[in-house]
Structure 1
Amino acid sequence: MRDYTVNGNFAKRYLEIKGYKIISYEGCTEIYTLEKWLLIKLPYSHYWEVQDEDPNKFIGKVVSVEQFIVCNHLLDHYVKEKGKTKVWVFVIEGECVGGCSLPVTDEPLIGGVYSIDGRSWDEIHSIHALSYLEWKEQWNKKFSQEEIVPVQVRFISANDR
């Protein structure tokens, strides 16, 4: 097992409070500054779509992603023979703000990730009464950096030339 980083220790306590048993600490897998454009690009859009917190409050902040293998998680029995779950905890300024999870499998999984506690996008966003595609369109508009700038167009007739 690796030595815990400072953020790894924050994440470890966060997972223990949630009731998960730490099997191993895989280390800090990534450090990045959260920008709006990341929220509309894969894989970051998948990571942040399953959070309870609005990512807008974290724009411009540094995210440390701490990875663990845990048990006593909702996804442990997704694949019966494994009984373990990978979790990634997002730590910003010493605070655990969420994360994502996937069951441990021998084969790669297709699709997005689950929330830190194993909920799917549907379970998190069912209150919106929107399809995923409708919701995703709103998400992309919200985090798109393109600003709509009014443009004045003047049509020139043949007589103006």
Structure 2
Amino acid sequence: MKYLLSILSLLFLMGCTDSSDIPKEQSDLKDYLENRGYQVISYEGLAETYELTKEKITELPYIMYWGLQSVEPALYFGKTINVEKFLVKNHPLSKGEVDVYVYEVDGQPIGGTSFPHGERLYGGFWSLDGETIEELQAKSFQDWRTDWINKYSKNGLVQPN
């Protein structure tokens, strides 16, 4: 009976541990978010890993993701991008919780995107701080897209759709 109670107690304690603990490897990313004023609720894990290329940033959804960054993508061509997902509060995109995807290269955060937690909004893309491309660029979306593709496409001049 004591053996059974010991096992049950151990299982209970394991079930009560905080699953939102931030792994040591992501503590710099947590600090990055907190320095922006966000309250980190939990670390949700690695969402994606990929090598950044010119081809990738001219295709959906990466054209949108990278158009929302304040860094020059060319600085990261050939580098591995790790996209780490966090759940935060105190974000301008929503009064509730927001999914934040932090882009990390060589252990350093370089930007990211955000999305209202639990919502299914198709076609919505927001910067780390909840801004749209139209809010970040000094031109229309169509002009921005044409300029972006001309800048990063192998073939250069591309006609808008």
**Do both proteins adopt the same fold according to a TM-score greater than 0.5, normalized to the shorter chain?**
yes
SS at match of 2:55: helix
SS at match of 1:118: coil
Matches within 5 A, 1:58-73: 58-73=76-91
User: Is the 2:68–2:133 Cα contact (8 Å) retained in structure 1?
Assistant: yes
Letter in 2 for 1:51: Q
Identity rate, percent: 38
User: Is the 2:149–2:156 Cα contact (8 Å) retained in structure 1?
Assistant: no
Letter in 2 for 1:24: S
User: Is the 1:4–1:27 Cα contact (8 Å) retained in structure 2?
Assistant: no
- Correspondence for 1:104 among 110, 113, 117: 117
**In structure 2, C-alpha distance between the alignment counterparts of 1:112 and 1:139, rounded to whole Å:** 19
Please state if 1:133 is matched with 2:151.
no
- C-alpha RMSD of the superposition: 1.7
- Correspondence for 2:71 among 53, 56, 68: 53
2:104 maps to what in 1?
A: 91
Matches within 5 A, 1:111-150: 111-125=123-137, 128=138, 130-146=139-155
**In structure 1, C-alpha distance between the alignment counterparts of 2:87 and 2:43, rounded to whole Å:** 7
**In structure 2, C-alpha distance between the alignment counterparts of 1:17 and 1:134, rounded to whole Å:** 33
Letter in 2 for 1:48: W
**In structure 1, C-alpha distance between the alignment counterparts of 2:133 and 2:156, rounded to whole Å:** 28
**In structure 2, C-alpha distance between the alignment counterparts of 1:122 and 1:10, rounded to whole Å:** 30
1:30-83 Cα shifts (integer Å, max 9, x gaps)? 111100101011111111111111111111111110001100100123xxxxx1
Q: How far off is 1:123 after superposition?
A: 1.3
2:38 maps to what in 1?
A: 20
**Count, aligned residues:** 138
User: Is the 1:46–1:112 Cα contact (8 Å) retained in structure 2?
Assistant: no
> Gapped runs of 5+ residues in structure 2?
1-18
User: Is the 1:27–1:68 Cα contact (8 Å) retained in structure 2?
Assistant: yes
Higher relative contact order (CA 8 A, sep 6+): 1
**In structure 2, C-alpha distance between the alignment counterparts of 1:4 and 1:46, rounded to whole Å:** 29
User: Is the 1:101–1:113 Cα contact (8 Å) retained in structure 2?
Assistant: yes
Letter in 2 for 1:114: W
Q: How far off is 1:112 after superposition?
A: 3.2
